[in-house]
Amino acid sequence: MSGEQDAPQRLLEVAVALCEEAGALLLERFEGDRRRGITSKSTPTDLVSEADLASERAIAARLAQLRPQDGLLGEEGEDQAGASGMRWVIDPLDGTVNFLFGIPQWCVSVAVQDHSGASIAGAVFDPCRQEMWTAHSAGGPKLNGMPIEGSTTKDLATAMIATGLAYDANVRAAQGEVLAKLIPKVRDIRRFGSAALDLTWTAAGRYDAYFERSMKIWDVAAGALICECAGLTVAELPAAGPLPWGLLACSPGLTRGLLEIVG
């Protein structure tokens, strides 16, 4: 595929369609038998359910119809090479633990990347709130079709910061030390449990900044693009000691101060 079919807006339309289809499937499960088929992955607290797997299967099947030449990388095991140079990176259910506990803070994240690994278009769908977050490389970020923009605050002391915690207990202990340094210097901290939604909420100014470590590419491929398009700084956090790689998204005016603490 090439030309018009690979235009960022057309790719975004595909991402939105995939999110909507998977989101409808998940919302039905969430309101019904959401705890079916639970197993664990990297640790006993790193859970996966039949809903995760069903969502990924649905996205893969639909993508095979819409973009059969493209590659696919999914959290739950889908890893298909493509012939087009495009690769779709999906988290079929970001916030699985929230989903299983009946907490309405979870989403579907879909991004498409070019041969360099840069995201061209991305969508994050929150079925519980019916919020569709979108962006593409040739256009601005939107929430349900309306433009959004990130925070411009420069004052760390008044900043609302979001974060997340790893599943590994040793990493959590190190993250706790970082949070102990950060908490006295900011307005407050929020930890809701979905990296993709944390990124989109930051893109819309609901948070002034978000950082997290131990994430994977499918957690951030769409959300980081939306933050960048919203005018935020998106910086990598290099691995350091027990702390794995991570990401910071924030108002440009907060970048230096936050990196001094969480970087």
Please report the pLDDT score of residue 80 as a whole number.
81
Cα–Cα distance, 246 to 249 (Å, whole number)? 10
Q: Max Cα separation, the chain?
A: 52
Is the per-residue pLDDT at 68 higher than 60?
yes
The model's pLDDT over 120-132, given as tens digits with 9 standing for 90+, comes to: 999 999 999 999 9
Please report the pLDDT score of residue 166 as a whole number.
92
Q: How confident is the model at residue 46 (pLDDT cuts 50, 70, 90)?
A: very low
Tokens 């030309």 belong to residue? 3
Q: How confident is the model at residue 15 (pLDDT cuts 50, 70, 90)?
A: very high
38 or 82, greater pLDDT: 82
Q: How confident is the model at residue 82 (pLDDT cuts 50, 70, 90)?
A: confident
Please report the pLDDT score of residue 136 as a whole number.
96
Cα–Cα distance, 31 to 132 (Å, whole number)? 20
Q: Which domains does the chain have, with CATH numbers?
A: 3-141 (3.30.540.10), 156-262 (3.40.190.80)
Please report the pLDDT score of residue 47 as a whole number.
46
Q: Work out the average pLDDT over 89-95.
A: 96
CB 181 within 8 A of CB 212: no
Q: How confident is the model at residue 142 (pLDDT cuts 50, 70, 90)?
A: very high
pTM, whole model, 2 decimals? 0.92
Mean pLDDT over all residues of the chain?
92
Please report the pLDDT score of residue 39 as a whole number.
54
Cα–Cα distance, 139 to 118 (Å, whole number)? 15
Integer angstrom CA distances of residue 21 from 25, 56, 73, 155, 168? 7, 11, 18, 41, 32
Give the least confident one: 41-45, 123-127, 220-224, 258-262.
41-45
Q: How confident is the model at residue 83 (pLDDT cuts 50, 70, 90)?
A: confident
The model's pLDDT over 172-229, given as tens digits with 9 standing for 90+, comes to: 999 999 999 999 999 999 999 999 999 999 999 999 999 999 999 999 999 999 999 9
Q: Work out the average pLDDT over 83-107.
A: 94
CB 54 within 8 A of CB 90: no
